[in-house]
Structure 1
Amino acid sequence: MRFVLASASPARLNVLRSAGIEPVVRVSGVDEDAVAAALSDPTPGELVTALARAKAEVIAADEEDALVVGCDSMLLTADGEVQGKPGTVENARARWRKMAGTTGTLLTGHAILKVENGRVTDSVADHEATQVRFGTPTEDELEAYLATGEPLQVAGAFTLDGLGGWFVDGIDGDPSSVIGISLPLTRKLLRRLDVVISDIW
């Protein structure tokens, strides 16, 4: 049974590789806005978990025997706003000016579908929340960071494992979850599917 990561994120791939798993990578292409619009007043945790499940379901439909893992991350800012990927320099700049010197909550939804003989036989899903204490970059530092393009395509406009790590003063919780996939939560979810993590290293 192969391990499939339903994500284009190189950070998630690197976390899994460093932890002994070489997943097959397949990108779902899920319309995240449509998934979110179909939900009725979800909590931020419910939203990221639903998005993770939607991604896993698309990929699972074309698998024969596999464990398909979907993930989605968003930042819940100190004022209660939920932020995904900023997409533009202007959005990323505005977000950083707002969150610098504050503490936000990085939420990562996880869904794992077990596919046997071309059919989903079991599934589990949950989310992880980690507190992130943001530093305060100078204007020159922020503009240099924005110019790299890194913060434009990541939840909350920052990374922990890349250039954005220079501007994170600390975290309270699971660092792998902030990077994009929580190893502890993934292990627990797999256990609920009767899969022992050491069997797939």
Structure 2
Amino acid sequence: MSSGESDVTGADRRYEVILGSASPARLAVLRHAGLDPRVVVADVDEDHLLETMAAETPGDAVTRLAQAKADSVIATLLAERVDHAASTDVQTLPDLVVLTCDSMLLYRGTLTGKPHSAQVAIEQWKRVRGDEAQLLTGHCVAHIRGLDVVGRSAESASTVVRFASVDDDEIEAYVSTGEPLEVAGAFTLDGRGGWFIAGIEGDPSSVIGIGLPTVRHLLRRLDIPVTSLWSPTSSA
């Protein structure tokens, strides 16, 4: 497939989906939705980048973080293809569709990400229990053909999360499992944290880590039908 074959439609092209995240929850969401992505983890210092975005809106900040992850993954993928260029016509390789995300919790005007420590997680839960906050997830989709990035699109999704009125013992027991330490907002919807979420308003897949409706929308902007990415070998 050469770059000159403009008559090839999105539905007829061969694609390989790349998930630029080490999150098992994001991988599970995509697999259950019919995709079988290869994981290529982005090398990005999220905390440092966030410090440089203090003047940006929360939605713009998470979107920029997702774009930075995409930049890192794209660099890795293009380097792989350059290494094989001597023995392989890269134009015959499948197109690559790169999906990256970044999630943070917006509570009373403050963005919080992964707590990293038990003490921070406990403090976050004590602030939000019995209240609600917005889970913001930035998404970026990039399309690589051969050695070129032929398209990319990004935006954020917002979902309201209502936290149950959990007591101190429940918070400490939850945090002691280690589950909330490396997830945005110190909670999960699809794990033990689901016991302590009273409800959500919006897309549940976005709260888990990657919003399927948002990704489909971004793919449509790039003229890639999501159905062309479905894999018969996925666990859907």
Query: TM-score normalised by the shorter chain: which range applies?
Result: over 0.9
Larger radius of gyration: 2
CA distance in 2, matches of 1:68, 1:180: 15
| Aligned pair partner of 1:10 in 24, 46, 54 | 24
- 2: distance between equivalents of 1:54 and 1:2? 21
Which runs of structure 2 are paired with 1:1-201 in the superposition (5 Å)? 1-39=15-53, 41-63=55-77, 64=81, 65-77=95-107, 79-201=108-230
Number of aligned pairs? 200
Does structure 2 conserve the Cα–Cα contact (< 8 Å) formed by 1:56 and 1:70? yes
Q: Residue 40 of structure 1: CA displacement? A: 6.1
Match of 2:86 in 1: none
- Report if aligned partners of 1:61, 1:118 keep a CA contact under 8 Å in 2: no
Letter in 1 for 2:203: D
Distance 2:175 2:46 in 1: 24
Alignment check: 8 A CA contact 1:57 1:113 kept: no
1:84 shift after superposition: 0.2
Determine the C-alpha separation between the residues in 1 that align with 2:112 and 2:161. Answer: 14
Offset, 1:31: 1.1
Distance across 2 between alignment mates of 1:37 and 1:134: 27
- The runs of at least 4 aligned residues of structure 1 exceeding 4 Å deviation read none
Residue 114 of structure 1: how far off its partner (Å):
0.7
**SS of match in other structure, 1:75:** strand
Distance 1:152 1:27, change over 3 A: same
Shift of 1:33: 2.7
Provide TM-score, normalisation by structure 1: 0.96
Alignment partners' CA distance in 2, 1:97 and 1:62:
40
Question: Identity over aligned residues, as a percent?
Answer: 50
Q: Which amino acid aligns with 2:158?
A: A
Deviations 1:2-34 (Å, cap 9, x if unpaired)? 100000000000000000001000111201133
CA distance in 2, matches of 1:2, 1:162: 29
TM-score by length of 2: 0.82
CA RMSD of aligned residues (A): 1.1
SS at match of 2:41: coil
Give the Cα–Cα distance (whole angstroms) in 2 for the partners of residues 172 and 61 of structure 1: 36
Equivalent-residue separation in structure 1 for 2:50 and 2:113 (angstroms): 12
Q: CA deviation at 1:62?
A: 2.8
Tell me by how many angstroms 1:139 deviates.
Answer: 1.9
Gaps of 5+ in 1: none
Deviations 1:123-173 (A, max 9, x none): 100000000000021222111101100011000000000000000000000
Instruction: Indicate the SS of the match to 1:61.
Output: helix
Q: Is the alpha carbon distance of 1:131 and 1:123 closer, same or farther for their aligned partners in structure 2, counting shifts above 3 Å?
A: same
Give the AA of the match of 2:106.
Answer: L
Relative contact order higher in (CA < 8 Å, ≥ 6 apart): 2
Residue identity in the other structure for 2:101: C
